[in-house]
Structures are given as C-alpha cells and as structure tokens.
Amino acid sequence: MSYGGYGSGGYAPPPGGPPPAGYAPPPPATYGSSPPAPYGSSPPATYGSSPPPAAGYGGYPPPSGAPGYRPPMGAPPGADPQLWTWFSTVDTDHSGSINAHELERALINGDWTPFDLDTVKMLMSIFDTDRSGTIGFNEFAGLWKYIKDWQNVFRHFDRDRSGSIDGQELREALSQFGYQLSPPILDLIQRKYDPPTKASSAAVARMPPPGITFDRFVRACVVIKQLSEAFGRLDTDRDGWIQINYDQFMQTVLQLP
C-alpha cells in the first residue's frame, strides 16, 4: 500500500490537541506535525457568528432571567470568570460537566448551522482526558481555546470569506499543512465532508455557498493527520509503501475517529 503525500514543509494546523501559545512557524510536517499557534489574536465575530464575539463558532449564554436560566456558581480559583459563565450555561443539567449533546447545542458554525455531531464527538474524545464521557471545566477551557485557534486557521484559508472551504481552498490548506494529496483524494475528501444537499431548488437558493463548513473542516484535517500518522508508524523504512495483513488494517482503521 502506498501513501502519496508525505509532509514536506509549510505549517501544520492544530489537530490532535490544544496548540501552544504564541506564533512561530513549526518545522516541516511529517505525517502531520505538532500544532502551531493561531494566526494572530482572537478574531472578530465574522461569518455571522454569535456572541461571545471572541470565541465565535461557539456557544453563548442566554440572558439573565431567560426560562430555565440559573446564575452560575462561583468559578474555581484562577478560572476566567467569563469562560466559567459560558461553561455553566452549556452545562444545562448543572452536573458540573458537559456531555456531547450539551456541547453540540453550544457550538454553531458561522452560518448558524449547528456543529456536526460526529465533529462534537471527536472534540470530546480529544479533550476528555480522563475518559469519563464528559468534559469538566479545565477540559472545556482547553477545547474552547482549540476552537478559537482553528477559527484563525479557517479564516486564513477562507479566501473569499464565504464561510466555507471550497475545493481550491482545501487543496491549498492541506498543501500548506504538508499533505500533497492527489486530485482524486482531494475530490473524495471534498465529497465526504461536503455531501450534496437534498433540498429543493428554492431552499438551495437560500443556503450558504457550497463548501466545507468550519466544523467539518476541523474534522477532515484531524482525520487526515491521524490517517497519515497511522501510516507513518507502519512505514518503518519511510519509502511511502507498506505491507500489512488484515488484522493490522482493521486495528489501524478502527482506532481512527
């Protein structure tokens, strides 16, 4: 089995975990390199994203006095008060932790569509460090920063400011991340993460431009990184070819998101 896209330069996105602070070009990517810092400071609320403006593509608390609203309890020592307020609002059952469905309701794309549940589950799997099936406040803080950093990556490659990533923008992004993928593979990624709509013509006319939304773009990049890393572990002589048996293949595939 051959792999045609070893990382060979540019910079990498922040897949796989929270990126470090500060900006510095990372070393050339190899099967997906370590995550970079954001492309600058916290972005403004663009692409129609909702408050809180510094986070975008995320949740926001209901106004005080709204039905079902309870003022949050005191924040843990050293916690950001605003982030604690957001966490407490997302934690709708007041359990002290957030599950996938609570997180899904809190996250939106720039076009006001909810996050894809598969992406939410992937984010949970990255930041649920104690494997409890939920995330506590500290894990939520890491996830929130991760989303903000991905915002900057997304904004950088969304050249036409459409709020989605088209085929050309996807090719440029993956190329700069170090993945030199063939046109058929790029087309497959585009179709997988931007499935055709079944809506009527009138509905399509009211929809945002076609392309990969923010949530699906994050998931696509994380999956490509993890696939490349899995291949790299098997390609011990680094020649771009591997020979594996059925069990190895199944183990590799089933460990991926």
Whether pLDDT at 148 is above 90? yes
Name the average pLDDT for the chain.
74
pLDDT digits over 48-93, tens only?
333 333 334 444 434 444 445 444 567 788 888 889 998 999 999 9
Entry pTM: 0.69
In degrees rounded to 5, what are phi and psi of residue 221?
A: -65, -40
| Whether the Cβ atoms of residue 111 and residue 56 lie closer than 8 Å to each other | no
Q: How far apart are CA 239 and CA 132, in angstroms?
A: 40
* The one-letter amino acid at 59: G
Angstrom distances, CA of residue 60 to CA of 84, 102, 106, 247: 12, 12, 7, 45
Residue in 187, 144, 194, 186 with CA at minimum distance from that of residue 164: 194
Percent of residues, the chain, with pLDDT higher than 70? 65
Collapsed DSSP state (helix, strand, coil) of residue 75: coil
Encode 232-256: b = buried (16+ Cβ within 10 Å), e = exposed.
beebeeeeeebeeeeeeeeebeeee
Which of helix, strand or coil describes residue 165?
strand
Please state the rounded mean pLDDT for residues 117-132: 92
pLDDT tens track for 9-19: 444 555 444 33
